[in-house]
Amino acid sequence: MGVPFEALIPYGIIITMFGVTGAGLTAVKYWSNDWKKPRWNRDLWDRVMMERDMRITGTPRGQSSNAEAPKGFEVSNPWKLEKRIF
């Protein structure tokens, strides 16, 4: 007793749609990481260094091995502000 093919159409749609979502999210993640594998399990040091990479190259994942910083780097260090409690 064969299964009618109409019964398998919903499964095909389900698999396709989950596949589209997964592929899309993967693509967006790679795109937002400059087509590199994403960083994970970052600690405070890594986050601070990525912020410094951003100030040097313009993107959080950009890398440069120059010995000298670009002009204006020495005055672009941000101070974190917090509201006064008292």
Partner 1 sequence: MARREPQFNQQVLVDTTPMPADIPSVQEIGATSAPLTSAAYFIGDRCKAFNDDFMKCKSESNGKGEIDCLKEGRKVTRCAASVIKDINTHCLKQFTAHWECLENNNHRLWECRKPEMDLNKCVFDKLGLKKTIPGAPENQTPVHLRPTQIYASFPGPQY
In the complex, which residues of this chain contact partner 1 (CB under 8 A)? 36-37, 39-41, 46, 49-50, 52-53, 56-57, 61-70, 72-83
Compute the least distance from the CB of residue 27 to partner 1, in Å.
17
Compute the least distance from the CB of residue 34 to partner 1, in Å.
9
Q: Among all chains, which residue has been given the structure tokens 């941000």?
A: 78
Q: Which is nearer to partner 1, 16 or 63 (CB)?
A: 63
Residues 6+ apart with CB under 8 A from 61: 33, 34, 36, 39, 50, 53
Compute the least distance from the CB of residue 29 to partner 1, in Å.
14
Angle at 29 between CA 57 and CA 49, to 5 degrees: 35
